[in-house]
Amino acid sequence: MTYRLSVLDQSPIVAGATASDAIRNTLDLARACDALGYDRYWMAEHHASPALAGASPEVLIGPVALATERIRVGSGGIMLPHYSPFKVAETFALLSAMAPGRIDLGLGRAPGSDQRTALALQRDRTRPMPMDFPEALDELTGYLDGTIPSDHAFGRLKDTMPTGGGRPELWMLGSSPDSARWAAERGMPYCFADFINSDGAALAQHYRRTFHPSAHLAEPHVMVATWAIAAPDTAEAERQSLPSRMMMAHLYAGRLIAVPTIETAEAWLAANPQGMMRRRRLTLGTPAEVRAGLDQVASDYGADEVMLVNIMADHAARKASYALVAEEYGLAKPAVAA
């Protein structure tokens, strides 16, 4: 199968480390993935998390773009309900001016947090967050495309966007029927979060069937973001997965923790074997095993691109995982040739 490979980074914070350490690791991993030949490097938005440092992907995109040379850099994603569409449009037009032709704007509806944190993110806390995502998306697109009507209350603002970098590439992100429908109706590329919901193949098919061409995309385009860890042998890949399993077991139980070390996770999971239950798809093993698993995921979704995500306590092993996959797919040679 032929599909492009990219990376989603959640900037994991290991127990005993800081967000500063996590961001240094993000910059280091981004430079490595740029050299390895990956297509995109996206950063996620998570709030009030002791395990994930990426509270503000728009803050990280600029430094990552300037630290890399060719890889596209973007958000996976911006949770639009928290923000003014105009502010998001300005921010990403400015990022595009910083790194012309290399910025992606992935948009999602999920809060990226619990309901208390979502309320804390609101400026107006006197009422629930309005359910106006489609309208906010259209307003945002109108600013970036210059298509917002002149008689609109904010029509004149479309002419004030930072210039010189072109339009960021807009993506719809999601794991629900709504996101598939909105992407298809607006002719947007669609990224499905298989690492959150592994039952999305039918939604990707619905997106393809109902897709309406747009000025920016003539044919449907699907990317699937899925969990993957590669190591020299399967046992080591399983071992590297233990911290995320312990972290997720605590999350399902309503307890937030930093990413534990491998040794802590081994001990905890030995005492709490129910924590080893797999609630989400996890592709792991040798590079060949990972490739076979990713081929299956890509086939399930009819994907044009596959985005790899993982949470690992060992940063060196995390870099090595992406290097092993890149070598298996022969990514670096085409990238150098290009």
What string of DSSP letters covers 25-89?
HHHHHHHHHHHHT-SEEEE----S-SSB--S-HHHHHHHHHHH-SSSEEEEEEEEGGGS-HHHHH
Determine the pLDDT at residue 187.
98
Q: How many secondary structure helices (H) and strands (E) does the chain include?
A: 12, 9
| C-alpha span between 309 and 238 (Å, rounded) | 15
| C-alpha span between 121 and 84 (Å, rounded) | 12
Determine the pLDDT at residue 112.
63
CATH architecture of 4-337: Alpha-Beta Barrel (3.20)
| C-alpha span between 181 and 271 (Å, rounded) | 44
Determine the pLDDT at residue 256.
95
Shortest CA distance to 225 belongs to which of 309, 282, 295? 309
| C-alpha span between 301 and 321 (Å, rounded) | 23
Strand 4-9 versus strand 40-43 pairing type: parallel
Shortest CA distance to 9 belongs to which of 75, 67, 102, 100? 75
- The answer to whether residues 223 and 189 touch, using CB atoms and an 8 Å cutoff, is yes
Strand 190-193 versus strand 103-108 pairing type: unpaired
Determine the pLDDT at residue 120.
81
| C-alpha span between 220 and 298 (Å, rounded) | 15
Determine the pLDDT at residue 333.
56
Determine the pLDDT at residue 337.
32
Reduced to 3 states (helix: H, G, I; strand: E, B; else coil), residue 317 is helix
| C-alpha span between 39 and 305 (Å, rounded) | 9
pLDDT tens track, the chain, 338 positions: 899 999 999 999 999 999 999 999 999 999 999 999 999 999 999 999 999 999 999 999 999 999 999 999 999 999 999 999 999 999 999 999 999 999 999 999 887 667 788 878 887 777 777 788 999 999 999 999 999 998 899 999 999 999 999 999 999 999 999 999 999 999 999 999 999 999 999 999 999 999 999 999 999 999 999 999 999 999 999 999 999 999 999 998 999 999 999 999 999 999 998 877 767 899 999 999 999 999 999 999 999 999 999 999 999 999 999 999 999 999 975 443 33
Widest CA span in the chain: 65
Parse the chain into domains and list their residue ranges. Answer: 4-337
Reduced to 3 states (helix: H, G, I; strand: E, B; else coil), residue 21 is helix
